[in-house]
Amino acid sequence: MVRTKVLTPLEIYKVLDKTNCKRCMLPSCLAFAAAVIGGQKSLDDCPTLAEDLKEQLAGNLCKRSTADPEQSEFMAKLFKKITRVDFHEKAGEIGAEYINGQLHVVSLGKTFQVDSDGGMRSECHIIPWVQAPLLSYICYPTHRQVTGRWSSFRELNGGIEWQGLFSSRCETPLKRLADAKPDLLADIVDLFMGEEVEGFDADIALVLYPFPHLPILICYQAADGDLDSELTIFFDECCGTNLHIKSIYTLVAGLIKMFENIARNH
C-alpha cells in the first residue's frame, strides 16, 4: 500500500537562518516556511537560503494549492505546537494509538500516522480540510470522552457566530444531495465506517467519526406531501471541548465537499 507524506514547514524551517529578517515580506521564518508549503512563496523568495539547499528541498516539495496568509500562519503555529505534545500521553486521551513514536488516528475509517513534527501519512490523499483539524485535535488543550448526548452546531461553544455559514455550506448542500440521491447517505455508511442508529425522528440517522472523539450525527427526513425534507447535523456534547469551532466547521464543510464529489462521480 502506497502512503503519502506531507512535507511540513518545520522541515523547511530547520534549514533557514531563523533571523526573521522579513526580506521575504513575511513576519518570521516559520511563516515563510508555511507559505512555501501553502504555495504563496517559493524557496527563491528567501535571500539567504543556499542554492544547494534549495535544490535539495525542491526535490521533495510537492506543489500545493495556494492558501491565504492567515491560514499559512495558523498552520505554522500548529506545526510548532505539535512538537511540544507528549504523544505517548496524548494517545489514550484522544482515542489514538501510539506506535513507534507516531500517533495513529482513525478518521472515517482511514488511519493517519502523525509524526512529532506534524508530518502526516495515510493510504489516502492528505488534504487541508483534514490536515489542519487533525493537527488541531491533537494539540487542543482540553479533552472530553464521548458522552452519547447530541447538540446542534449552534449549541457548541462559539457555534452561534458560525451558524450561518454552517447552515449554508454544510446542512443545506447535504440536504440537496440527499434529496437528489436518496441512497447516498446509506452509501456513506459503507464508505466511511459509519453506523445507522435508531431512536431519532428521521428516515435515516447515521453517525460518522471524523476523529475518534468527535462523532457527528446526520438526521435526514425525506419530503412528505406538502412537507419539505429536513436535514440536521448534530454533534456529541464532547465536540466543543475537543476542537475549536472553526476547525469543526472546516472539517464538516470539507466532508460535505467530498460527498458532493462522490455524488458527481457515482
Task: Read off the pLDDT of residues 9-34 as tens digits, 9 standing for 90 and up.
Answer: 777 888 899 898 989 888 888 788 87
Query: Could you give the CA distance from residue 266 to residue 191 in angstroms, rounded to a whole number?
Result: 13
4-139 classified as CATH 1.10.150.20: no
With cell 447516498, the residue in question is 184
Is the CB of residue 149 less than 8 Å from the CB of residue 32?
A: no
* pLDDT tens, residue by residue, 114-139: 999 888 888 776 777 888 999 999 99
Residue of higher predicted confidence among 150 and 66: 150
DSSP 121-146: EESS---HHHHHHHHHHHH-S-----
For the chain, the structural domain boundaries read 4-139, 150-265
* pLDDT tens, residue by residue, 240-259: 999 999 999 999 999 999 99
Instruction: State whether residue 163 is helix, strand or coil.
Output: helix
Amino acid code (one letter) for 7: L
Which residues have CB under 8 Å from 51's CB, separation 6+? none
**Which ranges of the chain would DSSP assign to H, the alpha helix?**
9-13, 29-38, 51-58, 69-82, 87-94, 128-139, 159-166, 172-180, 184-191, 239-242, 245-265
**pLDDT at residue 66, rounded to an integer:** 45
Angle between helices 87-94 and 128-139 (to 10 degrees): 100
Residue 5 scores a pLDDT above 80: no
Which residues have CB under 8 Å from 221's CB, separation 6+? 201, 202, 203, 229, 230, 231
